[in-house]
């Protein structure tokens, strides 16, 4: 099992400290690689050709997990050794940093994937959709000063979509996947460490989405002036309303989906499990974000199918190679369910379909 950095067709390995992060709540994956060698080692001389700004790939156990650029190179030495540290991100990192620029900066009746493709084209980044993206947006405009990521993510929220890197140099519009992780997580077997958290601070009892809709010859006036939609979170026992101004124009149906998304994503972010396991892969398959695993942990009161929201691969001289997985209920990243309130009298086989946002 190894991590390799590929630059100009050359592979560099032997890293002594590694941190690689990927997740469905971040558009770009990150890597940080360090090697320390004695002065008589050729590794430092070979790595002298690596420069900040170069394109690269990062592979874990033979699978490409990041395709992007080296952001920074740090070199240091003392009397006994020298150290080289490299850090960087997916190509999508440029979308996070750079301003959104496109012709007039406005689209009319375009689907989200077309808007995203137009914004990403100058960066050589392809856009794909792994979930239904809904109807075309009646109107969408870049807001002055926002980044490419901010513009795409704002449009994606209107259709309850995630915007993530595919690890291969492109971005994906998606929702919670049903693809399986390489293994289930079982207390007493493959779990080294686990934590669970239930946090109500950012959850609300009522989500009210307000905005405007684009009128036409058939629909106009009051019908498009103040559309709104409301969604309740029955897992919040006291009155806590939140009004959200829609990111762009839409009708009541669109705002209803947006309200459900807001409820689910906040409940999901407040209910998490973090699990650490040995190694970076199982049976040759690397752990990936946006895949499903079953967590069985009596101590965490968990026995559910959960979504892997983020993956962190690490290596150091104390703990060795580890993977840390952040887990959430799949419902937190979807709008399919109609009600997240629990039905206590149903059979256990239905438990995974019912969620009040309050348990794993």
b/e code 193-206 from CB counts within 10 Å (16+ = b): ebebeeebeebbbb
Whole-number Å distance between alpha carbons of 279 and 30: 19
What confidence tens digit (pLDDT) does each residue in 173-197 have?
999 899 999 999 999 999 999 999 8
pLDDT 10s digits, 67-114: 999 999 999 988 877 889 999 999 999 999 999 999 999 999 999 999
By C-alpha distance, which of 267, 259, 262, 256 is closest to 234? 267
Percent of the chain surpassing pLDDT 70:
84
Q: Is the pLDDT of residue 323 over 90?
A: yes
Mention every residue, 6+ apart, whose C-beta is less than 8 A from residue 349.
none
The pLDDT-based confidence of 329 (bands split at 50, 70, 90) is confident
- Give the residue from 2, 103, 86 showing the smallest Cα distance to 51: 86
- Given a cut of 60, whether residue 40 has pLDDT beyond it is no
Dump pLDDT digits (tens) for 237-294. Answer: 999 999 988 766 655 557 887 888 888 888 877 888 999 999 999 999 999 999 999 9
Question: How much is the mean pLDDT over the chain?
Answer: 85
pTM over the 0.75 mark: yes
Query: Is the CB of residue 58 less than 8 Å from the CB of residue 41?
Result: no
Burial class, 230, CB count within 10 angstroms (exposed 0-12 / middle 13-18 / buried 19+): middle
The predicted structure's pLDDT at residue 347: 38
Q: What is the pLDDT of residues 330-346, one digit of tens each?
A: 888 875 433 333 333 34
- Spell out where 291-350 has E strands: 292-297, 302-316, 320-328
Tell me the domains of the chain and their CATH numbers: 3-89 (2.30.300.10), 95-174 (3.55.50.10), 185-200+269-353 (2.30.300.10), 206-261 (3.30.1920)
Give pLDDT tens digits for 196-245. Answer: 988 889 899 999 998 876 545 554 445 555 678 899 998 899 999 999 88
């Amino acid at each position: 099992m190894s991590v390799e950095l590929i630059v100009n067709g050359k592979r560099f390995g032997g890293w002594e400290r590694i941190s690689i992060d990927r997740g469905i709540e971040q558009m770009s994956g990150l890597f940080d690689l360090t090697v320390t060698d004695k002065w008589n080692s050729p590794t430092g001389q070979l790595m002298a050709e690596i420069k900040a700004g170069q394109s690269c790939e990062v592979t874990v156990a033979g699978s490409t997990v990041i395709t992007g650029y080296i952001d920074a190179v740090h070199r240091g030495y003392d009397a006994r050794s020298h150290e080289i540290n490299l850090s960087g991100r997916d190509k999508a990192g440029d979308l996070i940093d750079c301003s959104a620029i496109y012709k007039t900066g406005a689209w009319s009746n375009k689907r989200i994937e077309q808007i995203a493709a137009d914004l990403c084209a100058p960066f050589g980044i392809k856009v794909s959709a792994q979930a239904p993206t809904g109807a075309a947006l009646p109107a969408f405009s870049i807001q002055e000063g926002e980044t490419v990521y901010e513009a795409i993510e704002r449009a994606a929220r209107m259709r309850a979509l995630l915007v993530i890197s595919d690890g291969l140099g492109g971005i994906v519009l998606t929702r919670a996947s049903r693809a399986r992780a390489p293994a289930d997580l079982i207390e007493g077997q493959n779990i080294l460490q686990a934590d669970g958290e239930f946090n109500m601070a950012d959850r609300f009892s009522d989500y009210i989405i307000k905005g405007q809709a684009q009128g036409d010859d058939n629909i106009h006036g009051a019908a498009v002036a103040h559309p709104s939609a409301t969604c309740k979170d029955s897992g919040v026992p006291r009155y806590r309303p939140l009004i959200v101004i829609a990111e762009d124009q839409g009708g009541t149906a669109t705002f209803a989906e947006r309200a459900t998304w807001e409820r689910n994503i906040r409940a999901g972010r407040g209910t998490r499990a973090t699990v650490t396991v040995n190694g970076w892969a199982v049976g040759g398959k690397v752990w990936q974000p946006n895949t499903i695993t079953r967590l069985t942990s009596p101590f965490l009161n968990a026995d559910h199918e959960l979504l892997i929201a983020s993956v962190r691969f690490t290596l150091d001289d104390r703990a060795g190679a580890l993977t840390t997985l952040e887990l959430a209920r799949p419902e937190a990243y979807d709008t399919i369910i109609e009600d997240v309130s629990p039905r206590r009298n149903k059979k256990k086989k239905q438990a995974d379909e019912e969620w009040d946002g309050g348990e794993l």
